[in-house]
Structure 1
Amino acid sequence: MPSRPTTFRPAGRPDRAEQRRVYDERRGSARERGYNVRWQKARQTFLARSPLCLGCESVGWIEPATVVDHVVPHDGDTARFWDTERWQGCCKWHHDVVKQRLEDRWRRGEVGAPALWLSSPEAAALTRALRPLG
């Protein structure tokens, strides 16, 4: 089996592992960002009260929620972090795929904050486009 050719990287540029390490250092640990024991308890309570993925429900699917998402990214703001009115339960796929695309569009000013709810028309359209068969 032939070996893969090496990836071109200009001299002095960090490789993927180094880029990830620097990003993680700058971002801080989960605990440093507020995801501590208090968060784990609040998350567990929220998921017990809202056990289904909001994004899946909005398109007629039934999938358990495993992630508690901050609708509007808190970016370290403690008040926004603990604002339970702005939390939504979702499956990992909705959090990692649909929500990330919506946040990218929101940060570029293409959509407003209401589009960040996984039950929004924008989220439903993305869900259907990215996973049409469910």
Structure 2
Amino acid sequence: MSFDVPDDRRYLESHEWALETDGVVRVGISDFAQDELGDVVFVELPDEGDDLAREAEFGVVESIKAVSDLYAPVGGDVVAVNDDLFDAPELVNEDPFGDGWMLEIEPADPDDLEALLTADEYEEQIA
């Protein structure tokens, strides 16, 4: 099975993605992760203004098959949360790299992104 792995973002081994735009890092879970989870029924996310440490747990995604912790690809302040997921958690399945994004972080250290997997490295991991 082939999964979408956009090469414009970086990845954590735990299947979160990070996309930096204008100094803000948008975070979600990969196509592979949403497929493994199955139908997402609930997403728990931090509040705007929360301070996250790099690779610290920031929330939970619950599906009909499993509950999985979510990990921050970069440390910093949460500047936005995708409130649409509270009413429509299925967006994580339908569009994991678009409307299914989870939060945006203003990174404390922009170099955190460099420590993440490239798309090629992530594809090797999930192969």
Question: TM-score, normalised to structure 1's length?
Answer: 0.23
| Structure with higher helix content | 1
| Structure with higher strand content | 2
Q: Relative contact order: is structure 1 or structure 2 higher (C-alpha 8 Å, sep ≥ 6)? A: 2
Larger radius of gyration: 1
Question: TM-score, normalised to structure 2's length?
Answer: 0.24
